[in-house]
Structure 1
Amino acid sequence: MIEWNEQGEVRNARWRSESGAVAPRRVVVADDTLSADTAYRLACEGTGLLWQGDFQNARMLLQALMRRVDRKPAKAAAKAAEKMAAATPAEAFHLHRQAQAQRARVLSALLIPLEGDYGIDLRRAPDLRQACTEAWGPATGERSVASLRELLGLVGAHEWRKKGVEVPALGAAPNNRIHPYYGVFSPVRGEYVDLVASADLPSKALAFDIGTGTGVLSALLVRRGVQRVVATEQDPRALACARDNLQRLGVLAQVELQSVDLFPAGRAPLVVCNPPWLPARPSSPIEHAVYDEGSRMLRGFLAGLADHLEPGGEGWLILSDLAEHLGLRTREQLMGWIADAGLKVLGRADIRPRHAKAADAGDALHAARAAEVTSLWRLAAA
């Protein structure tokens, strides 16, 4: 719960945070009279600003906070740049994540009260009830508070879900769109999909898709002629998302969705897995699609693969080497895990990233991103 004092009366509401952030200890009521400089000072101190003014003015204040948090004094900017330049790639990565986390904490200080039906009782407030329902589930009638930054993220996710992401490997438009749900990794980076689309299939009888997410790889395998796919996933949101996408694409009848950790029972001639690429601790539930602490999913897939392959079968591991360029994992470690699991490498297909950050020299991790290669490793039992 979150508490605040309003006109001498203590009030409270449910605290919502997808990042798992704790509710601010101190909350003050804020409105259109609050200056951006004062708001920034309070936010940096960890004070929550519960907005009671015009909603559009709150959005403008958030933009003003962004400008202030990104505009460091010359001395501080020079010191930070010097620290990054002297850091190892792994240290630079962790410094970058720390800076991102600090930025998020400041920008999440601007809070919006929600009614029991997710309505917002503020002047010029949009109707965000559908976006909230998609992310949080049906309203329970309980009043709540969430950061404006998170609410705008819900709106963005709602628009992506409505519009969908075109995946050329699935065929011609319009029957090639994936509609990602809030908190489910979107296939906006299509390199890994293209690798699966071009690799020679060892069999078209059956495939396992481990950690299916939006269901894009399951759909692709069916479109390539695989008769049956068993797709696994732990996240209820992702399972619902995959079911919806497979239904939209007309392939659900050939895909069995299972709520399990990693492998389903049995063996298959093809087992596909695209685990999170970076072995770091997720700072929110949404980040589990990107960060795999201790390489848990990657190592679990490798360790169990041989026991779930039919004789002569192949395991396809889709993995970026970004972690290697960041000093978070070595190629020797990866090859050691493959050997320890009783596996051998049959071949590897590589592809360069096409996303904007790979060419952005101003990105804090540009050197590693520019060198990144995504690979499809063809593995078999040794």
Structure 2
Amino acid sequence: MSAAAPQPLIYWIEDGQERSAHWRSESGMPAPKKVIIADDRTNADVAYRLACEGTALLWRGDFQNARQLLQALARRADHKHERSGKRAKAAKEARAAKPAASPTEAFHLHRQAQSQRARTLAMLLLPFEADYSIPLRRAPDVKLACNEAYGRGDAPFVASLRELLGLIGAHEWRRTGVELAPLGQRIHPHYGVFAPIRSEYVGLVADAPLPAGAGLAFDIGTGTGVLAAVLARRGIGRIVATDMDPRALSCARDNLARLDLAGQVQVVQADLFPDGRAPLIVCNPPWLPARPSSPIEYAVYDPDSRMLRGFLGGLAAHLEPGGEGWLILSDLAEHLGLRPRAELLGWIEAAGLKVLGRLDVKPNHPRASDAEDALHAARAAEVSSLWRLAAA
């Protein structure tokens, strides 16, 4: 939500007076209907019970104590989830004849638990002045982080402490950047733009053989601009990088300027394809066909595989004769039972495309080897692929 967008109000009683303020939530969480005042005297168990019931706590105490309370709420939420998991396991063992939960059921249960945890922890609220200062003791200066995420401030508002910590973390990512070995340099993600922390798919684009005569390329859904940068470093003279998200467009332009590639890469706002044709068209769509729970999750979740199907459906019409389309896609959705391989192959065929080849790589992120992860079996089997496609 930008600073200029209409913002709902939240209301509370303080010192016997009804008060209100604008409500801001980048996750799209609605304004809490019930808000009470909390401070350094607030007990963590009471705060957790109220948060679970949907009562938000507007903090008036010491900022660092608010952070400690949020950590206490997180511990209680995780302990509750752990106890629920043990009860579910015991119940499953008691019903040994009943089939185990399918990977798809496990995925949806995992998402449900994540969503519930996020809602509970988002109930600890902070006041902000119009200039993004926080009128609390020992509050840090977060003006730069808020300006990067929200744009220019124009009125006081209330937001969750959890969201603020996300803004601060995003500011640090933007400041320090992500080192990418395939590129040999850093990419600096902006708030709300997916960080390319899984470098294995970047390596696929860096290593795949370029089609003959590829002096022009399209990068569809460029995000941070990382794949456009890799293609430029590989010697492609002109690249058109597209995205619909204003934050992604700004982020890509910033990164390409940092890498001294702005003269090679044109960043344009477009829904998938720009005008014209190219001998190489690259796309790394969101990998999981599920509904995002917040706008930021659109980088991970692609409802009804809209972007994937849109790319495949329009690819042949935008390829030069003899050109290639590179689809970078994980098969995690297949292991979770969300999209079978046959469906993907059917879309490729229906779009008038053929598969020239495929490059595969195993993920190297920590959750792939974390046996405690709720989706460990699917993650352990996951493979990321670069599909080389051409018009049939």
TM-score by length of 2: 0.95
Give the structure 2 partner of residue 93 of structure 1. 107
CA offsets, 1:213-268, max 9 Å, x none?
A: 00000011000000000000000000000000000000011111110100001000
Find out whether 1:271 has 2:281 as its counterpart.
Answer: yes
Identify unmatched segments of 5+ residues in structure 1.
Answer: none
Unmatched tracts of structure 2, length 5 or more: 1-8, 93-98
Residue in 2 that maps onto 1:29: 37
Q: CA deviation at 1:107?
A: 0.5
Secondary structure at 1:72's aligned position in 2? helix
CA distance in 1 between partners of 2:82 and 2:249 (Å): 48
CA distance in 2, matches of 1:283, 1:86: 26
- Alignment partner of 1:332 is 2:345: no
1:375 deviation in Å?
A: 0.3
The match for 2:60 is 52
1:185 aligns with 2:199: no
Alignment of 1:190-339 (within 5 A): 190-202=199-211, 203-339=213-349
Whole-Å Cα distance in 1 between the matches of residues 241 and 281 of structure 2?
10
The separation in 1 between residues aligned to 2:338 and 2:273, in whole angstroms, is 26
Q: 1:156-195 residue pairs with structure 2 within 5 A?
A: 156-171=169-184, 176-195=185-204
Q: Work out the CA distance in 2 between the residues paired with 1:340 and 1:282.
A: 27
Q: CA RMSD in A?
A: 1.2
Per-residue deviation, 1:86: 2.3
Deviation (angstroms), 1:74:
7.5
Pick aligned residue for 1:115 from 95, 113, 129: 129
AA in 1 matched with 2:202: V
Distance across 1 between alignment mates of 2:206 and 2:127: 46
CA distance in 2, matches of 1:278, 1:61: 34
Residue deviations 1:130-153, cap 9 Å, x none?
10010000111x110000000000
Distance apart, 1:77 and its partner CA: 3.1
1:190-218 Cα shifts (integer Å, max 9, x gaps)? 01100000001113310000000000000
Deviations 1:171-206 (A, max 9, x none): 3xxxx1100000100010001100000001113310
Q: Distance in 2 between matches of 1:73 and 1:248?
A: 43
Q: CA deviation at 1:99?
A: 0.2
The residue that corresponds to 1:79 in the other structure is 87
Bigger drift between 64-73 and 232-241 goes to 64-73
Could you tell me which residue of structure 1 aligns to residue 380 of structure 2?
370
Could you tell me how far 1:81 is from its partner in structure 2?
A: 3.5
Distance apart, 1:10 and its partner CA:
1.0
Q: 1:83: how far off?
A: 7.3
2:163 maps to 1:150: yes
Work out the CA distance in 2 between the residues paired with 1:292 and 1:80: 30
**CA distance in structure 2 between the partners assigned to 1:73 and 1:352 by the alignment:** 30
- Report deviation, 1:72: 2.4
Q: What is the CA–CA distance in structure 2 between the aligned matches of 1:13 and 1:242, rounded to whole Å?
A: 34
Amino acid at match of 1:182: Y
Partner-residue secondary structure (3-state), 1:364: coil
Query: Which amino acid in 2 is paired with 1:146?
Result: A
Q: Is residue 322–residue 372 contact of structure 1 (8 Å, CA) maintained in 2? A: yes
Deviation at 1:79, TM superposition (A): 2.6
CA distance in 2, matches of 1:332, 1:98: 28
* Amino acid in structure 2 at the alignment position of 1:318: I
Task: Provide TM-score, normalisation by structure 1.
Answer: 0.97
Shift of 1:80: 3.1
**2:14/2:37 contact within 8 Å kept:** yes
Q: Is the 8 A contact 2:81 2:113 kept in 1?
A: no
8 Å contact 1:113–1:144 — kept in the other structure?
yes
Q: Given that residues 204 and 225 in structure 1 are in contact (C-alpha distance below 8 angstroms), is that contact kept between their aligned partners in structure 2?
A: no
Runs of 4+ with deviation above 4 angstroms:
82-85
The sequence identity of aligned pairs, in percent, is 69
- In structure 2, relative to structure 1, the CA distance for the partners of 1:81 and 1:147 (3 Å cut) is farther
CA distance in 2, matches of 1:297, 1:76: 36
